[in-house]
Each structure stands twice: as structure tokens, then as C-alpha cells.
């Protein structure tokens, strides 16, 4: 036997051992390590790296694994806490956005947090996720729980103009039964809950105050003023409360529509 063969075999074993030692740990171990870093008093750079690792490892982790949801539940509050760290904030945002729906509730609360960095970091996440985040808030905004409705309204106001188009579409769908008839006696029946929901929309649109919001308020008045003049008046009052510049954001034909509605409601 050649004297070199044992040396070659030994070298192969060394290479295999080195490759094994250098290979990345399994996703679960990486997540556990990263979560431990986020719990620690380590610096922002270490926490930023941990956020990146959580995002990467969760992407590799099987979604149907029995402990997947539990891992996400453990990760979300720690990622939200990392929003306070200037060096880790962007990485934490990316990880929360990648998690998506399971992170929404924590982000809604964080958007209203007293800590400014946490609040701003959460709002950036929700702005980037607005097309999917806003529909999740709708049951709260239109529900019977006053505290939940107030939270939803405040979060939507914090999201601001980036969410206006999505809000307007939901509002339009609610108004559809009213807009399809010109006979007040055939108008859709508006429950107390429905009235409260529309008033919540009025609050949100008037606080956001961009052009899309003004248009939505005008649409709302147009749809309900015949059957529910008081609610129509609430829509117009919200526009008036936004100041003289609000109407300037609308095309001339919509400004005329506003004046027509104002005169009709004043005559009632």
C-alpha cells in the first residue's frame, strides 16, 4: 500500500471536519441565539445582526413545523423592543415586515407607545405594510368595542396619508348600499354600529387631511345626506374643520359639489 494513502485519507477527514465546523447552524439554533442577543444588554450593532439572523432563519424554518408559531410569538416582542435601538431599528423593521400578520397586533400597540423611537419605528413598518395592515384594523374600527375602535382610529391616523387610498376603498364599499339609490325611503338601514363606524371614518379622514381624505368625506356626505342628514352634516363639518385649504385640494367640480351639499343640508 502506498505510504501516501493514509495521509490522503487523513487530509480528507480534516477537510470534512472543517467543513462541518464552518457550516451554519440549523435555523432553530440560530433563532435561539439571536433571541438571546436581543434579550441581552448588548449593543445596537449586535442586536441589528440578531434581527437580520432572525429574519433569515425564520425564512428557512418550516412554516408547518410544530413550534414555528411559538418561535414567531417569542421573536415579535423582542424585535419591537429593538426598534428603540438606533443601530438596530432598520433591521428590526425588516424582520417584522417579513413576519407580517403575526406582528400586526404588537405593531399597532407600538405605534401608540410613549417611547418616540418605538412609535416611529412601528409606524414606518405599518406604512410599508399599509395595504395589508389597514384591512386588519377594519374590524376594530367598525366594531362595538369602544377602546378597540379608538386604538384602530389612532393607529390609522398615525399611518396617515400612505394609508388613505386603502381606507377610501373600504369606506366606498360601506357606502355602496346608500349610493345606489336616490330614494331616501329605499336607503340602506344604518344600524347604531354602522353609524358609529362611519363616524370613526370621519374622525380618521379629517385627522389625516390629505386630498384623498377630503374626497372621501365628500363622497360620504353625497351618499348618506338624503336618508341621514345629520350624518351628512357630520361629513361636511369635518371638511370645514380642516380649514379653508382643504377644499383647495379638490378639483373645481368637487368644490361645486361641496357647495351644493352644504346648501341642501342648510335648507333641511
Euclidean distance between CA atoms 266 and 268, whole angstroms: 6
Nearest to 53 by CA among 22, 26, 23, 73: 26
Give the per-residue pLDDT at 61.
85
Give the per-residue pLDDT at 14.
47
Using DSSP, state whether 199 is helix, strand or coil. helix
Give the per-residue pLDDT at 134.
92
Ordered alpha helix ranges (H), the chain: 4-22, 27-39, 44-60, 68-82, 89-99, 104-110, 116-128, 130-141, 146-159, 164-179, 192-208, 211-224, 229-241, 245-248, 252-266
Give the per-residue pLDDT at 180.
57
Specify whether the CB–CB gap between 197 and 153 falls below 8 A: no
pLDDT, one tens digit per residue, over 177-226 is: 776 555 555 455 666 667 888 899 999 999 998 989 999 999 999 988 88
Euclidean distance between CA atoms 236 and 206, whole angstroms: 10
pLDDT, one tens digit per residue, over 84-117 is: 999 999 999 999 999 999 999 999 999 999 999 9
Q: Domain map of the chain by residue range?
A: 26-128, 157-266
Euclidean distance between CA atoms 106 and 262, whole angstroms: 42
Q: Which residue has the higher pLDDT, 24 or 142?
A: 142
- pLDDT-derived band of residue 5, with 50, 70 and 90 as boundaries? low
Give the per-residue pLDDT at 151.
94
Give the per-residue pLDDT at 201.
94
Residue 6 has pLDDT above 90, yes or no: no
Give the per-residue pLDDT at 104.
96
- How many residues are recorded in the chain? 268
Amino acid at each position: 500500500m502506498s505510504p501516501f494513502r493514509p495521509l490522503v485519507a487523513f487530509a480528507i477527514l480534516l477537510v470534512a471536519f472543517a467543513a462541518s465546523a464552518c457550516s451554519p447552524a440549523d435555523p432553530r439554533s440560530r433563532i435561539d441565539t439571536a433571541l438571546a442577543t436581543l434579550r441581552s444588554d448588548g449593543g445596537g450593532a449586535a442586536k441589528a445582526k440578531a434581527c437580520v439572523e432572525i429574519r433569515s432563519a425564520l425564512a428557512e424554518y418550516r412554516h408547518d413545523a410544530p413550534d414555528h408559531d411559538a418561535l414567531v410569538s417569542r421573536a415579535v416582542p423582542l424585535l419591537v423592543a429593538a426598534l428603540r435601538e438606533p443601530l438596530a431599528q432598520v433591521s428590526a423593521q425588516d424582520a417584522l415586515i417579513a413576519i407580517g400578520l403575526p406582528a400586526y397586533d404588537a405593531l399597532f400597540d407600538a405605534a401608540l407607545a410613549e417611547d418616540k423611537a418605538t412609535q416611529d419605528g412601528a409606524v414606518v413598518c405599518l406604512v410599508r405594510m399599509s395595504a395589508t395592515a389597514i384591512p386588519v384594523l377594519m374590524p376594530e374600527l367598525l366594531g362595538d368595542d369602544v377602546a378597540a375602535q379608538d386604538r384602530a382610529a389612532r393607529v390609522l391616523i398615525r399611518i396617515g396619508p400612505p394609508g388613505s387610498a386603502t381606507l377610501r376603498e373600504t369606506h366606498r364599499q360601506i357606502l355602496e348600499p346608500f349610493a345606489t339609490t336616490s330614494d331616501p325611503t329605499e336607503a340602506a338601514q344604518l344600524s347604531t354600529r354602522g353609524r358609529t363606524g362611519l363616524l370613526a371614518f370621519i374622525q380618521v379622514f379629517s385627522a389625516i387631511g390629505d386630498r384623498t381624505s377630503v374626497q372621501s368625506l365628500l363622497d360620504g356626505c353625497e351618499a348618506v345626506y338624503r336618508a341621514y342628514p345629520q350624518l351628512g352634516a357630520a361629513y361636511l363639518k369635518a371638511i370645514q374643520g380642516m380649514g379653508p385649504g382643504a377644499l383647495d385640494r379638490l378639483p373645481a367640480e368637487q368644490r361645486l359639489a361641496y357647495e351644493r351639499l352644504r346648501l341642501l343640508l342648510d335648507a333641511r
